[in-house]
Structure 1
Amino acid sequence: MTTATARRDRRISPVFLGILAVMAVSGWAVWTDFAASPGLAVFLFVTASWVVSLCLHEYAHARTALHSGDASVEARGYLTLNPLKYAHALLSIVLPVLFVIMGGIGLPGGAVFIDRGRIRGRWKHSLISAAGPLTNVLFAVVCTAPFWLGALDGVPMAFRFALGFLALLQVTAALLNLLPVPGLDGYGVVEPWLSYNFRRKIEPYAPYGFFIVIALLFVPVVNDAFFDVIDALLRGLGVSDAERYCGWELYRFWQESPELCTAAVGG
């Protein structure tokens, strides 16, 4: 690969820059109350921010793989942050965004293709798998920083609610992705340390793990237990139930928000 080609394969995609622009402009609109509909501005800001985090999640996998020995991620365009380059754009972007719109949950996506045969060392394999969800953890820390630092003075309520809801998405995505279920990153972290025979037995079920997790989230007992953990984590980070709830309600701008939330943002 020539130097010019390498630079092109790592150049940030205009698609990603466009998503960043939407995030910045809509975030400014939420902060300044410029938009006629605060809910629409929150929707655009949270959705664009969520897609940015998905791109960074996949980039983290690819970049770690590159430094671990898999140079093929460069030729596939994974280092450009272009979501259209992913092996499964439907699973990586479309499905997670739909789940946010329909259910307010940060669904882990998948994935970039990593040539595992080029990588030597169990720790490297585990780190590649862990890099994605750790990006969501970092994103959640950034979103919640104003809350746990007590730096909310002067932050508009609509923006505060949007950050609370965005933090919810990042925490759910990180927790779900770290589950040791075949097909998810959590299993990829532990897989190199499992016996060969065990991995062979599990391998046929890997394509279904992602969908099994989705199905289980529709089971009331599982759903309640999962969100009890999420609520506890977010409260520990200083984000109240009311802030997350109002963020979710404002996000669904096509429905009438509760008076408590609209009054708080001056709607």
Structure 2
Amino acid sequence: MSFATTRRPTSEERRISPVFWVLLATLGTSGWAVWTGYGSTRFAVFLFVVAGWMVSLCLHEYAHARTALHGGDITVGAKGYLTLNPFKYANSVTSFVLPVVFVVLGGIGLPGGAVFIERNRIQGRLKHSLISAAGPLVNLAFAVALLVPVGAGWLDGVKPEFLAALSFLGMLQISAALLNLLPIPGLDGYGIVEPWLSAQTRRAVAPFAPYGMLAVFIVLWQSKVNTWFFNLVYDVMNLFGVDRTFAWAGDYLFRFWTN
């Protein structure tokens, strides 16, 4: 076994990418614009939600990689997964392009898996499950950070557009966590249960994994399923004290191209 396959990630391989800093700067600037009412509020909400969503996607994938590193896959650093650079992931289309498209088209938060973990380096089924669970847990943490200040009244007195933007972005995080925990091939929920399945079952299911995320989006496009799912999302938001009307207002502001 060579040095290249046994070394730990270097500081260079852990350095945060300028791309991620640009995303954070966009998030902060657009958030300030919404907060102060500077410029076009609806376009600022759009930038704030997209930037916030992409930041959460970067951290979602980083969580997978970081957990894999501690689980035994020391190759994630060399692949660039610890830099928070979205262009370093295995498939930028499924990780970032499609999730943003899903948000624009249907207001659905659905991250796509894109970090290639060398599972043969990781011993123990629990470690494999934790690696898959790390991503959705990041979305849940994002939801808590966004919705608690709104529901607790800590932001009373600020512009309602800012509260709506936070609520809509929080709603996306809840939908992402719930959807990604479904035990469907290609989603993290299946990755959590997969280590506990028989080898025969895993081989039978493997061919369907590339289509899992798209299949979920198509099913959610059906009105009855869509209504049932979002009622569940709004019920979770109510646990934080945030009414669904805040998310509806944020969705309306987000779609600046509509009247």
Under a length normalisation based on structure 2, what TM-score does the superposition of the two structures give? Answer: 0.94
- How far residue 154 of structure 1 moved from its aligned partner, in angstroms, is 2.5
Deviations 1:8-48 (A, max 9, x none): 1110000100111000111111111122x100111111110
Q: Which one of 28, 33, 36 corresponds to residue 29 of structure 1?
A: 33
Partner of 1:259: none
Q: Which one of 243, 247, 251 corresponds to residue 244 of structure 1?
A: 247
Unaligned runs of at least 5 residues, structure 2: none
- How far residue 150 of structure 1 moved from its aligned partner, in angstroms, is 2.6
- How far residue 168 of structure 1 moved from its aligned partner, in angstroms, is 0.9
Unaligned runs of at least 5 residues, structure 1: 257-267
Q: What is the root-mean-square deviation in Å for CA atoms of aligned residues?
A: 1.6
Partner of 2:141: 138
Partner of 1:66: 69
**Structure 1 residues 3, 197: closer, same or farther in 2, change over 3 A?**
closer
Deviations 1:46-65 (A, max 9, x none): 11010000000000000000
| Counterparts of residues 12-161 of structure 1 (less than 5 Å) | 12-35=16-39, 37-161=40-164
**Structure 1 residues 4, 241: closer, same or farther in 2, change over 3 A?**
closer
| Identity rate, percent | 58
Checking the alignment, whether the CA contact within 8 Å between 2:168 and 2:248 is kept in structure 1 is: yes
- How far residue 68 of structure 1 moved from its aligned partner, in angstroms, is 0.4
Q: Which one of 215, 218, 221 corresponds to residue 221 of structure 2?
A: 218
**Structure 1 residues 5, 241: closer, same or farther in 2, change over 3 A?**
closer
Which moved further from structure 2: 58-67 or 103-112? 103-112
Letter in structure 2 aligned against 1:147 = V
Deviations 1:96-125 (A, max 9, x none): 111111211112222110000100001100
Under a length normalisation based on structure 1, what TM-score does the superposition of the two structures give? Answer: 0.92
Which moved further from structure 2: 26-35 or 120-129? 26-35
Q: Distance in 2 between matches of 1:159 and 1:148?
A: 13
**Structure 1 residues 28, 191: closer, same or farther in 2, change over 3 A?**
same
Which moved further from structure 2: 25-34 or 124-133? 25-34
- How far residue 5 of structure 1 moved from its aligned partner, in angstroms, is 7.1
